[in-house]
Amino acid sequence: MEQQTRAKRVRIYLSEDDRVGLRPTHLVLVDLLRREQAAGVTVMRAMEGFGGSGQLHVSHLPELARRLPLVLEWIDRPERVEALLGAVRATIQHGLITVEDTEIAFYVPHPVRALPETLTVFEVMARDALSVAWDVPVRHVVELLVGKIYRAVPVVDGGVPVGIITSSDLVRRGGLAVRVDLLKSLDRPELGEVLRRLEDDPRRAGDVMTPGPVTINGSASLSDAAEVMSRHRLKRLPVVDDVGKLVGVVSRIDLLRAAAGGFDHGEAEARVVGLAGDATLAAVMRTDVTAVLPDTPLPEVFQAVVSTRLNRALVVDEQRRVLGIVTDAELLDRLTPSLRPGVLRALMNRLPFGRPRSDEPAEQHSSARTAADLMLTGVPQAHQDTLVRDAIAAMLQAQGQGSHKLLAITDNDERLVGVVDRADLLHGLVRH
């Protein structure tokens, strides 16, 4: 799969004799990043070099060979680097960390990873999950979520989850005018205005949270977590220890990745993981697909997008072959700032796409006029007879592209017959 996408490259400069306790620091970092599902890490041993001490280390001096410089290189999505960099910095006592922008020109990942034969929620959850106290201002909660890969934050009292704040909570009860996932599409002045309106808001996290959150113990099986998330229609679950304190958060994508790893090793280990995957996509897909033709005008595309649960519409040709996908974020990005307030209100309330003046078409305020101008290509697809376990790989390969939360399902003629999202795939993994 070829792709052009932005990423971050992190370089960590260490010495072979750096330690965390009794273990070499570079091994501790590799274990940390692997456990936290980083995209990939490479450790390179240098032949010669010196650091802040000024002492020269070279490979041809036997007495210094064990103190050679090391470079740990890690390339990942910007939001993943942001989420994990704090834990990396807290791990090392000496060294240098640099972060720079890079561009991925070509990347062919393994669709699944090797995983242990037995897995618990604790082993696949995110340990870097943020949480807030019940008296934290709403503005602070919003600032924590801007640009993050997750859209919810647990509220804790003494370390125990007492609530959870989702994007919907912030909109319905927190005074936020824009869904959290759309904030990153705003220009800096627009985002500043949204945050400014929350400055004097007296509401706190406890006022807007959904109380009594569903949680799961870290020792629970993945099948238990999948069943709970499927039954309650949850995207993520706070994970607690034996005394009820928050230790992490497990998401649908965590479970899908773990399930794919288990299936990659065969049926015996898949049963140990505890998730089923032998249903076909035809059994779990939704057939009420919202699709538009490439020449569909902008107002109709807008209506198609806001009519869907995931705020996305597929673009198909006359034979219903998938060409691309249009998202609400892409619509917002192509409109001029003067029109965005009205568009945001329409997106939030699922209203028709308005016009700035009765004699001036809204299309004149956009750099796109049709679905073909707006669509993103490379939509992941799978045949309707594909097993759920095999379809997960296609979803994971497209994970880095935020627009692709849908998997298009096709028939023998490659015509669109349905779609599945992460919730549908997780539901297909739960044994009944």
Assigned fold of 121-273: CBS-domain (3.10.580)
- Tens digit of each residue's pLDDT (9 = 90 or more) over 278-305: 778 998 899 988 899 999 988 888 888 8
The answer on pLDDT for 46 being more than 70 is yes
Q: Is it true that domain 282-429 has CATH number 3.10.580.10?
A: yes
* Mean pLDDT, residues 40-50 taken together: 77
Q: Mean pLDDT for the chain?
A: 78
Question: What does the pLDDT look like over 127-136, one tens digit per residue?
Answer: 777 899 999 9
Q: pLDDT tier at 376 (50, 70, 90 boundaries)? A: confident
Where exactly are the structural domains of the chain?
Answer: 2-106, 121-273, 282-429
Mean pLDDT of 368-389: 86
For 52-98, write each residue's pLDDT tens digit.
454 544 544 444 445 678 999 999 888 888 888 988 998 888 889 99
Q: Alpha-carbon distance 370 to 356, whole Å? A: 18
Q: Is the pLDDT of residue 360 over 60?
A: no
Q: What is the pLDDT of residues 187-197, one digit of tens each?
A: 777 778 778 88
Q: Of 16-30, 215-229, 252-266, 331-345, which gets the smallest average pLDDT?
A: 331-345
Q: Are 3 and 107 in contact (CB under 8 A)?
A: yes
What single-letter DSSP state applies at residue 20? E
Reduced to 3 states (helix: H, G, I; strand: E, B; else coil), residue 321 is coil
Strands 322-327 and 406-410: unpaired
pLDDT band at 337 (very low <50, low <70, confident <90, very high): low
Spatial neighbors of 311 by CB under 8 A, at least 6 apart, are: 305, 327, 328, 347
pLDDT at residue 115 in the model: 43
| Greatest mean pLDDT range, 4-13, 206-215, 218-227, 399-408 | 206-215
Residue pair 382/410 in contact by the 8 Å Cβ criterion: yes
Query: Which candidate, 115, 87, 97, places its Cα nearest to that of 269?
Result: 115
For residues 423-427, give the mean pLDDT.
85
The DSSP 8-state label assigned to residue 362 in this structure reads G
Within this chain, domains 2-106 and 282-429 share the same CATH topology: no
State residue 332 phi and psi, 5-degree precision: -65, -40
What would the two tokens of residue 76 be?
């990942």
**pLDDT above 90: percentage of residues in the chain:** 26
Q: State which CATH number among 3.30.70.120, 3.20.20.70, 3.40.50.2300, 3.40.50.300 fits the domain covering 2-106.
A: 3.30.70.120
